């Protein structure tokens, strides 16, 4: 086979210097046939080794039969079925080559993110326990919202993944941004909706004037941006950190996010912290009325003057025992109202199965208990026994009042 440098030299001498083929052969000490072959094609010569076959060839027919019946069958399962005992990596590569012949491709369109159009939302969970207080630990969900056009990240740890907490977390981050995108993208989170929005989520979207779009099952690509951010948090934010509480977690997160948003994005040719200004300028302003994001319940206050919210019991002024009270719980506080007036307020606890009691309520309960006992001693309860009238018996036997009196005296 002709060498590449000889091929280049032959073509140069013949086309540029107009040297004859015979002279070229003499100068380069090659045959005339070599010169002819060098001048015939336009492409450089390449060495191609003749194929000698593969150990996979004798298994190819059986593997293809399995793929024709089950195009998604894993390569390891196919190797087991056909009795392959060779290299696993070789078998996987061969299956990858022939699988497209049997599996219909699932193409995705290139996503374009205009400014102000979309925020991608998702939850991730720390891989280490977070102290909740009262000797309890857990791994609460962390809400992440990423502006698609700028890549700007917002995040906050939430007490639970219930609907009211998810909506409260979204609203707190939107208030922080002072802007509302045209679409909030979610991946079938149960608190937001699966296939169909929950009533609370639909009301939330209607108040904001935006769309909450739920992705189809097994279709994570449209929110791949926020998925990558979740891995980014685990790899860049979490290592080496310790947290005293969820409040401490959110404080450290708030201090770190400006650093994360200052990284340079090659895809966007800029930093999210700089690009977010244009992104939010294309969004709409916050609605004049805040959306409903609170947990609500109406109960009649029992004798132990406690109401329940998210598995914890909170005390209320015992003077309201027997009356209807309205319980509302946000991300930070639990409030109790009666007739529109705030009667009790407690910081919300992240730990579970607790009794949160205000000492003032205990003292008030003691006063009322003493008043009830003293009231019972001053006003004894009289037992009244109803006596039946006997007049209807006189009427039954035809006795006049005077005759009845005579009969009564005689008896």
Tell me the two tokens of residue 292: 């409903």
At 50 the pLDDT is: 62
With bands split at pLDDT 50, 70 and 90, how would you rate the model's confidence at 401? Answer: low
- How does pLDDT run across 287-343, given as a tens digit for each residue? 999 999 999 999 999 999 999 999 999 999 999 999 999 999 999 999 999 999 999
Query: Which residue did the predictor score with more confidence, 152 or 385?
Result: 152
With bands split at pLDDT 50, 70 and 90, how would you rate the model's confidence at 92? Answer: very high
- Residue 394 confidence (pLDDT) above 70: no
| Long-range contact set of residues 31-40: C-beta below 8 Å, sequence gap at least 24 | 34/2, 34/6, 34/10, 35/10, 37/2, 38/2, 38/6, 38/7, 38/10, 38/11, 39/10, 39/11, 39/14
Nearest-CA neighbor of 219 among 192, 182, 183, 188?
188
With bands split at pLDDT 50, 70 and 90, how would you rate the model's confidence at 133? Answer: very high
Phi, psi of 154 (to 5 degrees): -130, 150
- How does pLDDT run across 15-66, given as a tens digit for each residue? 787 888 888 888 888 888 888 877 776 666 666 666 667 888 889 999 999 9
Beta partners for residue 338, in sequence order: 341
At 22 the pLDDT is: 85
Tell me the two tokens of residue 399: 């006795």
DSSP secondary structure letter of residue 237: I
CA–CA gap between residue 208 and residue 177 (Å, rounded):
14
Phi, psi of 130 (to 5 degrees): -110, 130
At 112 the pLDDT is: 77
At 409 the pLDDT is: 42
At 393 the pLDDT is: 55
- How does pLDDT run across 193-209, given as a tens digit for each residue? 988 999 999 999 999 99
CA–CA gap between residue 97 and residue 331 (Å, rounded):
52
- How does pLDDT run across 211-227, given as a tens digit for each residue? 999 987 766 666 677 78
CA–CA gap between residue 106 and residue 275 (Å, rounded):
32
Nearest-CA neighbor of 30 among 49, 7, 53?
7
At 227 the pLDDT is: 80
- Residue 367 confidence (pLDDT) above 80: yes
- Residue 118 confidence (pLDDT) above 80: yes
CA–CA gap between residue 165 and residue 42 (Å, rounded):
69
At 309 the pLDDT is: 94
- pLDDT over 90 for what percent of the chain? 63
At 319 the pLDDT is: 93
- Residue 378 confidence (pLDDT) above 60: no
Domain 118-281 class? Answer: alpha beta
At 229 the pLDDT is: 83
Beta partners for residue 146, in sequence order: 120, 153
- pLDDT over 70 for what percent of the chain? 86
- Residue 386 confidence (pLDDT) above 70: no
Least confident of 89-98, 167-176, 221-230, 356-365: 221-230
CA–CA gap between residue 57 and residue 40 (Å, rounded):
37
Q: Is the pTM of this model over 0.85?
A: no
At 383 the pLDDT is: 46
Q: Please, what is the average pLDDT of the chain?
A: 86
**Stretch 389-401: mean pLDDT, rounded?**
59
How many residues comprise the chain? 411
**Stretch 384-388: mean pLDDT, rounded?**
47
With bands split at pLDDT 50, 70 and 90, how would you rate the model's confidence at 146? Answer: very high
């Amino acid at each position: 086979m002709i060498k590449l440098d000889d091929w280049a030299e032959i073509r140069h001498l013949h086309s540029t210097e107009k040297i004859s083929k015979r002279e070229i052969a003499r100068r380069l000490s090659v045959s005339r046939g070599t010169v002819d072959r060098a001048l015939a094609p336009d492409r450089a010569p390449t060495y191609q080794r003749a194929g000698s076959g593969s150990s996979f060839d004798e298994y190819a027919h059986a593997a293809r039969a399995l793929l024709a019946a089950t195009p998604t069958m894993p390569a390891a399962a196919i190797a087991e079925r056909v009795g392959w005992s060779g290299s696993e990596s070789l078998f996987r590569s061969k299956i990858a080559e022939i699988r497209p012949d049997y599996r219909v491709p699932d193409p995705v369109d290139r996503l374009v993110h205009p400014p102000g159009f979309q925020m991608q939302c998702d939850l991730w969970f720390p891989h280490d326990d977070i102290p909740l207080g009262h000797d309890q630990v857990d791994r609460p969900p962390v809400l992440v919202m990423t502006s698609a056009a700028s890549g700007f990240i917002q995040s906050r740890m939430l007490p639970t993944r219930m609907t009211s907490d998810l909506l409260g977390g979204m609203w707190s981050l939107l208030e922080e941004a002072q802007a509302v995108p045209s679409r909030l993208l979610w991946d079938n989170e149960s608190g937001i909706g699966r296939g169909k929005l929950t009533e609370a989520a639909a009301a939330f979207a209607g108040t904001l004037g935006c769309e909450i779009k739920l992705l189809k099952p097994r279709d994570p690509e449209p929110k791949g941006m926020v998925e990558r951010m979740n891995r980014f948090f685990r790899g860049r934010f979490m290592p080496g950190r310790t947290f005293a509480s969820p409040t401490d977690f959110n404080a450290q997160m708030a201090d770190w996010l400006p650093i994360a948003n200052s990284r340079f994005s090659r895809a966007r040719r800029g930093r999210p912290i700089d690009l977010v200004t244009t992104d939010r300028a294309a969004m709409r302003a916050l609605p004049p009325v805040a959306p409903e994001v609170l947990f609500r319940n109406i109960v009649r206050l029992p004798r132990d003057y406690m109401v329940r919210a998210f598995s914890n019991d909170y005390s209320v002024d015992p003077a309201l025992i027997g009356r209807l009270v309205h319980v509302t719980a946000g991300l930070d506080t639990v409030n109790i109202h009666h007739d529109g007036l705030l009667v009790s307020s407690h910081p919300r606890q992240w730990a579970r199965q607790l009794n949160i009691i205000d000492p003032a309520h205990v003292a008030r309960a003691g006063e009322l208990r003493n008043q009830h006992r003293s009231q019972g001693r001053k006003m004894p309860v009289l037992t009244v026994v109803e006596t039946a009238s006997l007049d209807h018996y006189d009427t039954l036997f035809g006795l006049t009042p005077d005759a009845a009196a005579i009969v009564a005296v005689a008896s």
